[in-house]
Chain A
Amino acid sequence: GDQVEQSPSALSLHEGTGSALRCNFTTTMRAVQWFQQNSRGSLINLFYLASGTKENGRLKSTFNSKESYSTLHIRDAQLEDSGTYFCAAGTGGNNKLTFGQGTVLSVIP
């Protein structure tokens, strides 16, 4: 079955507002990555977390391995934040990633 459940599947934000994306894991994950896929299809690395919280500009991510979830918070959304966001996580001692189904984010003026 699916190991990574990502929500919401789609999200619209007005410029300047914020929201959170979430991934729930059905099995114990050792680390999580968040990516933004832009209009050209490139997967851009946003965060890598083995635990705890990281922040980068208007983005913040948390990984709680005990409770099996990770979140990505976006604040003060800008038009260039539009794209598809993926979480991906690994279970074992290798870097094979299982991906969520993605969140399509549309930032509107």
Chain B
Amino acid sequence: DAGVTQTPRHEVAEKGQTIILKCEPVSGHNDLFWYRQTKIQGLELLSYFRSKSLMEDGGAFKDRFKAEMLNSSFSTLKIQPTEPKDSAVYLCASSPRTGNTEVFFGKGTRLTVV
């Protein structure tokens, strides 16, 4: 039973590069989330999809962050251009349906921007 799959697990980018993080939710899940985790800010929501439709794109993260969900089994998070302050762990999560249900997380992608 595959959980949420994220690739790559680690990414190193130079400042100004474009990077794309990938996520496959649990099969059949309806909602998909992107979170960012840093030591200072903790876990913050970046984007939220319901049935592939973008419901929230994380306000402060709008300008250089773009999440897309081209089909129900695949999502990407593009950061363009990257900055050193983007160094963080990016976590993808999914839940079976909208409403109060359990959320399951992938193992995350650790991004380092130099």
Complex-state Cα separation, A50 to B113, whole angstroms: 39
B interface footprint on A76-88 (CB within 8 Å = 1, 0 otherwise): 0000000000101
For residue B14, CB closer than 8 A to chain A, the reply is no
> Given that A31-B100, A42-B105, A94-B55 are contacting pairs, would A99 and B91 also be in contact in the complex, using a CB cutoff of 8 Å?
no
CB pair A88–B43 under 8 Å, yes or no, is: yes
* Interface residues of A, count at CB 8 A: 24
Q: Which of B31, B48, B91, B99 contacts A43 (CB 8 A)?
A: B91
Q: Chain B: interface residue count, which band? A: 20 to 34
For residue A59, CB closer than 8 A to chain B, the reply is no
Q: Chain B's interface: helix, strand, loop or mixed, by majority?
A: strand
B interface footprint on A39-76 (CB within 8 Å = 1, 0 otherwise): 01111010010100000000000000000000000000
CB pair A99–B55 under 8 Å, yes or no, is: no
> Given that A41-B89, A48-B102, A86-B43 are contacting pairs, would A95 and B33 also be in contact in the complex, using a CB cutoff of 8 Å?
yes
Shortest beta-carbon distance, A28 to chain B, in Å?
Answer: 13
Q: Which of B42, B95, B108 contacts A99 (CB 8 A)?
A: B42
Shortest beta-carbon distance, B24 to chain A, in Å?
Answer: 16
Q: Which of A42, A90, A102 contacts B100 (CB 8 A)?
A: A90
Q: Which of A90, A95, A102 contacts B42 (CB 8 A)?
A: A102
Q: List 13 A-B contacts (CB under 8 A).
A: A31-B100, A42-B108, A45-B102, A45-B104, A48-B102, A88-B103, A94-B55, A95-B33, A95-B95, A96-B33, A97-B33, A99-B42, A102-B42
Interface residues of B (CB under 8 A from A): 31, 33, 42-43, 45, 48, 50, 55-56, 89, 91, 95, 98-105, 107-108, 110
